[in-house]
A and B are shown apart, each in its own frame.
Chain A
């Protein structure tokens, strides 16, 4: 312990380098999970601020049951609101509704009814209303004002005759709910007293949260909700989950895994670097250990000296890393928030995130991450010391005394006749082959990692990503969500019955200023029942049909894209004409990614169930080709037909998407007009209106985030690995101090010494570059192929990371030359004679 401490001081330069490596390792080990966890927490916070926070809702619950259910032990928070009591009349258009409800304080809180002034109603004639509703009714009021509202009571037989009543505004609430795209349903809230007066035996909606949600998974929570529902005999159609909220609060195990993998990479890079620093310095200390052995130190003691020395350095360095990490966390979080760009749709979300962090709405620092980072750091230091410890323990006395700086087993070596500076450099390097290799390999490890990731990153471009997923300049698309119990009308089979994307709309759009053409794409839900001779029994088929749409989709592509369809075929052959009949399909490669178990090839015949609204019928389809299209073309529906063919399968209007080709790349006016037009069109479903520009912005900000994150991460990682180069070169100078003195005594000039050092360093640089660029390029290409196959980040074409290679070459070369110069200077600083006299 004492010796270890003295050693630590003595081998200062090495320990400073190890220290820096440890500080940086700890920093990364701390920063990565902290930023990761904080981002997740911020996202939760964002959700919690905006989404109602109830977990589930039971409907049609009477007062008695409300009381009983609320006593259940697993219910943490609960509140009730009434069935719709009445509907406000005199609204500007039919599709907008304003319902009148009673809501209690808890339910208001759980449902995020944001009272911005006043309070919930108590008296029979009090009401809470929103500015938006008042605007629609052309009234203007403040808290305390009396307003007259026309409404129709809700009866068992529908809405009753209109009546009017004077209400006193007890509070105002904000109903601009950020998640609803086109709000058409509004609410006003009245008091319990009013409810009692009009409807004594009212039924309620019962909103609740189950017990602590912290460490529960989505499934667990649902299970507990089901349990409660069962216990109180709540029918399945009478309860629903708050999907958005539950999902947003659910910790995706993939995120934890990603963070773990990144931490592993840091650990490995850190361990390799520390190991290599120790390894390289070890030979210099063999003599020292030999002497200690000679005066009676045991193997174990030598090992402990090395271990303690490393641990002492870690003891100082790790807390420093945490300190730096603590200081850097917020700037890094802001940096991430900022780097996503301000232009995009995400900007407001990022702004919110920024605010959440700034206002301290989440705990930014977590003690367990400090603990984890420390633990992992010490573990990293420990594993990197195992080998050096063994070397120290294995030093024999005689070896140490004979040791002269480089271990060679050869006795003789055929010499060169002439010997110059170059030979001296090479001689040193080849004499220290293992050390050189360890240095080069450990530096290359990081280098290869950087190369691989930057290859993939260089293959991504917002332009290409957008090109991959977007056709035309604007796009209208039906938002389909299958299996939403709250909104069965959002399923495709319902949408087609009243599809907003009809010919009238298409013509209307085509007539707009700046619009060149409009293309319609159709969508058919099908289930693949059998492939060729593998015949299913009728029973199996009816099972599949009964299960509803869980299968594949056909995409009907308009004729404008006939060329692209034909060009993208990779197997078999098909013309656009072939696809018009509704008998033939092209399968996209994507199909096999999703259905690896199906044995389908060109020539196969598929027996499918076609869903057309409520109707389902059987049909045979011939697979005539296999294709590799960009996702924009088929919109992830991987059976492809001509639009005409797809349309022939259905009686309903199956337009899923309109793509609009415009004269200008982006025109704000047109964008707004399109959005406005959709609001004006009578529809009750969601249609997503998007411009290529906004898609591009989203892609760009997403990619920028990934790029910046990666580069910051790799920046720090490379500094860790450069510690290696510094150590190796420092070490090679340090142990040859006397040798250099000697060489200079017999006439080597300072310039020659400098050249020699540069040459040696250049060797490390070239070696590292060779491995990094060679192996990195190869692996990078491999990863590109995988990414392309797996449709990751919209990668379609290969692009070599020229920029990164230049940066790596430049940085490494510069650092190395700088190092050589600094080292040369530092050698010069000590007088020649001191160096010659220097021994040990």
Chain B
């Protein structure tokens, strides 16, 4: 198996003694390159925590995460930030757009942070793909939930990251819109040969995945 992400004996505990929460408990996992992996599990089982550690947003208590042969947590914070903006695209459950920037600016922001020039055609193509081209000048507060989510997707895609990590991107959407967003995400990923790791509670979404990881109490209990 050609894996892009390797997780080895990852541990992340919160609290102490009585209130000890084993959010990630000795998890090992590998994600296949170019495939769609879904992570499922009950609420509070530690999915988000795992995803954040995968993306280098959070630090584990112990264990390693290797992305394309590079161990994430041995990097300096600023190097990690650079790696993040080049190799990883994040999509959050609650969109996390910058309110003061319009759709276009939100989308091209990762490029700007990296000091890259914007390829206008390229960005327009992505916006077109997710059906947001006509809303490029609109500020986030005037967008609907689905539109915001699609903007967030575009932002995750714009740097052409190798891996896209998505935390319940359809959680706030009705099933129809959810499917639409899913579809558009899948298409993009396929087109550019990206790896997609997505947390979901949605059965139908999980069924679209190439692999499904089941998490319970911080442990991987199933993989298919």
Binding site for B on A (CB under 8 A): 402, 404-406, 408, 410-421, 423-424, 427-428, 431, 738-739, 741-752, 831-833, 836, 839
Contact = CB atoms under 8 A, between A and B. Distances in A.
A746 B110 contact: yes
12 contacts: A406-B99, A414-B137, A415-B101, A416-B105, A424-B109, A743-B109, A745-B57, A746-B110, A749-B77, A749-B81, A752-B113, A833-B52
Contacts of B97: 742
A746 B139 CA distance: 19
Interface of B: 52, 55, 57-59, 77-78, 81-82, 84-86, 89-90, 92, 94, 96-105, 108-115, 117-118, 120, 136-142, 155-156, 159
Contacts of A747: 81-82, 84-86, 110, 113-114, 159
B142 A743 contact: no
A539 B99 CA distance: 88
A427 B114 CA distance: 18
A408 B82 CA distance: 32
B113 A411 contact: no
Contact of A739 (B92, B98, B155): B98
Contact of A413 (B52, B102, B155): B102
B99 A405 contact: yes
Contacts of B140: 404
A831 B60 CA distance: 12
A118 B137 CA distance: 100
Contact of B137 (A413, A419, A428): A413
A366 B146 CA distance: 68
A839 B102 CA distance: 21
Given A415-B105, A416-B105, A427-B101, A831 B59 contact: yes
B84 A431 contact: no
Most interface-central of A404, A418, A747, A833 (chain B CB within 10 A): A747
Contacts of B141: 402, 404
Contacts of A743: 98, 109, 113
Most chain A CB within a 10 A radius of its CB, from B102, B108, B110: B102
A742 B136 CA distance: 20
The 8 closest A-B pairs by CB, nearest first: A747-B85, A749-B81, A833-B58, A419-B112, A749-B78, A404-B99, A415-B104, A412-B137
A412 B104 CA distance: 11
Most buried by B among A416, A417, A745: A745
Nearest to A432: B100
Contacts of A741: 96
A832 B81 CA distance: 11
A414 B104 CA distance: 9
Contacts of A404: 99, 140-141
B24 to A, nearest CB: 13
A590 B110 CA distance: 71
A358 B98 CA distance: 63
A739 B96 CA distance: 7
Nearest to B102: A415
A742 B98 contact: yes
A411 B81 contact: no
B86 to A, nearest CB: 7
Given A417-B118, A738-B96, A747-B110, A836 B78 contact: no
Contacts of B82: 747, 749
Contact of B155 (A415, A431, A746, A748): A746
B103 to A, nearest CB: 8
A323 B61 CA distance: 49
Nearest to A752: B113
